[in-house]
Structure 1
């Protein structure tokens, strides 16, 4: 799949028309659109490259092998035990903890790294609350691109491998705003392109939607913990892209989106009908329940998530820490039985999602015929990445 500019794509020129921007043509500035293959079956659509590379034909990357990742992370695993606990027809877990760095950010990291190589970038910078930095560091280093990532000191434990080749993660005193300022300053001083494009972050979650479309086309509910909302936006893009390419995909469905109660600014804005979130509301609490779920800039995603909610009937619900803690043991046991890595002490994303689903079930908001796909993300950071 390529991103096409209707004005420039057929005109000879140097390099591709896409770049590290908001899907705008690098030559004329017009919006880009995907040029999709027309395939009738998943057998014809997928490749033999493991992981994200399986869906290379439906992603805007020229070299499928650069999208190689852990194939187990995109194969849903059924849990009758969790389905019984929720009183629903089925629960399938998308085990993103099998990714090399342990979270669903690897789908974004491997795609961004591949694009950086295509764009001819040798050095980039970025900021995050932890998991994204770890993922970008790992996959850019694998392809020979240097990434310098900045994270708040409070969540630096998410990145135990501070140096990897020339790539490194820098802990910054303060909050996400301070980490962003450090990334900006580094970019200006060292000429490293600062990676911030929202469209590429959404695109980085498309492989999850494609995996659900291929393997769970009967799903009625997709459950995932969110911060700024890039996850469900990318999943929905993947589901719709499969259909646009002529592939069997998910039918009528909705989303159950959960946030830690101390990181619910996006959900609050949606429920209040606000068009903008005050920057002061985005400052993470001093001791956040789960630091990696603090929104980076939900104003970018607010209108997009509002549209998703309107189109799919999605719900965005806060979950209290007490609920998360009470429901954690069952998820821990169920994942252990299925050999899915999980660690409550270091990452609570999956547990917030599960606590939210139990909360929804007890409130009567789930039906006996619901078929749920739950994204399981967040495991113990590895001291030595593969």
Structure 2
């Protein structure tokens, strides 16, 4: 058995503070239903920044800060290590010093969901789980089916009928058991909950397992390393459940705790949502610490069409603590953002990150960004995930 040298110590509930050992498999928190979060003994980290930089390959280069103890349990297809692509034409158009895009579309199944799938399926293997399940708008289900196929464990995916045909096909191509639910993502989630209770499934859904958001955290760790242990001034993130934004916030806090950052001023974290479903943006505008569920969500960006994000207090903490804000854009503006990335930078992005770029462009137009600002847009998924939607904008 080869150790990862992880310094993970236990799970702690973000909401009530209850603690559990690493063998605990009852998620979410049995005491309050809150989010269980892995905790680390940062003073025990023996790896250096130089050693991290010398490692090649996947997101598991940060294995000391991930909750997997044995390398034999790691399920990886080289996810992570995605490039930050400079976009000088966009910077000129927006009147800022620098615009770059973190291109998560270059992951194995073409989205940042692979990071969470790698970590959560690895966690299931560590705990000896033979079968997992997940509700999804599409991409997370496809990623989970790919990584469970690689791990050799069974997987059930609950999608709604509106999910992309590519995602439905690939879930089954990877050998997962596909269930289709009526309605939108929240309805699929309800159907999943009933099936989970009936079947006793171990879930790898966002914030239902303490492993999943740790995988997304590696996106933040990479950003700070790629900026020479510093950061851009502003990061725009397309926000549905908000797990990636929380991951970036966690990465900043951990690196600051270890003293690895050249400047401990955090980047401003900005939430981008759709005008058809903007519960977190509304909470920010009203200076609340928790969202109110959004009635009648409607957006072609299914990944940000999340009317009731359970982790909104954590998202809002990240926004308020970093001096960020929230911007809601229309579907047409999100599509134009995706096309702007394709035409000005050659980067193929789907609708959701198009909303993040559109939000940054809107803030620039409103004079809310400075000419010396460095901007980073998170491209959460490649354009091939949304060719039908993008084609509408080309008509």
TM-score by length of 1: 0.83
Aligned residue pairs, count: 360
> CA 1:162/1:205 → structure 2, altered by over 3 Å: closer, same or farther?
closer
**Within 2, Cα distance between the matches of 1:76 and 1:130?**
25
Q: Is the 8 A contact 2:238 2:352 kept in 1?
A: yes
| Structure 2, gaps ≥5 residues long | 1-5, 13-20, 387-395
Q: Is the 8 A contact 2:78 2:108 kept in 1?
A: yes
* 3-state SS of 2:370 partner: coil
Q: Is the 8 A contact 2:81 2:222 kept in 1?
A: no
**Within 1, Cα distance between the matches of 2:204 and 2:11?**
25
Aligned to 2:58: 51
* 3-state SS of 1:115 partner: helix
| Structure 1, gaps ≥5 residues long | 8-14
**Within 1, Cα distance between the matches of 2:160 and 2:380?**
20
Q: 1:261 aligns with which of 253, 275, 279?
A: 275
Q: Is the 8 A contact 1:78 1:93 kept in 2?
A: yes
Deviations 1:159-208 (A, max 9, x none): 13131454233221222233123323332343322334625443232001
* 3-state SS of 1:161 partner: helix
Worse-matched range after superposition: 313-322 or 357-366: 313-322
Q: Is the 8 A contact 1:239 1:250 kept in 2?
A: no
Equivalences for residues 151-300 of structure 1 within 5 A: 151-159=159-167, 160-196=169-205, 198=207, 199-216=210-227, 217-248=230-261, 251-252=264-265, 253-274=267-288, 277-279=291-293, 281=294, 283-285=296-298, 288-295=299-306, 297-298=308-309, 300=310
Equivalences for residues 229-378 of structure 1 within 5 A: 229-248=242-261, 251-252=264-265, 253-274=267-288, 277-279=291-293, 281=294, 283-285=296-298, 288-295=299-306, 297-298=308-309, 300-336=310-346, 340=347, 342=348, 347-378=350-381
**Within 2, Cα distance between the matches of 1:177 and 1:118?**
30
Worse-matched range after superposition: 105-114 or 317-326: 317-326
**Within 1, Cα distance between the matches of 2:143 and 2:152?**
14
**Within 1, Cα distance between the matches of 2:38 and 2:303?**
31
What is the deviation of 1:142? Answer: 1.0
Higher relative contact order (CA 8 A, sep 6+): 1
What is the deviation of 1:273? Answer: 4.0
Q: Is the 8 A contact 1:163 1:169 kept in 2?
A: yes
Aligned to 1:10: none
**Within 2, Cα distance between the matches of 1:47 and 1:122?**
35
* 3-state SS of 1:222 partner: strand
Q: Is the 8 A contact 1:134 1:169 kept in 2?
A: no
**Within 2, Cα distance between the matches of 1:250 and 1:168?**
47
* 3-state SS of 2:152 partner: coil
> CA 1:180/1:171 → structure 2, altered by over 3 Å: closer, same or farther?
same
**Within 1, Cα distance between the matches of 2:237 and 2:22?**
34
RMSD, matched Cα: 2.9
**Within 2, Cα distance between the matches of 1:123 and 1:117?**
10
Q: 1:122 aligns with which of 120, 126, 130?
A: 130
> CA 1:294/1:31 → structure 2, altered by over 3 Å: closer, same or farther?
closer
TM-score by length of 2: 0.81
**Within 2, Cα distance between the matches of 1:296 and 1:133?**
19
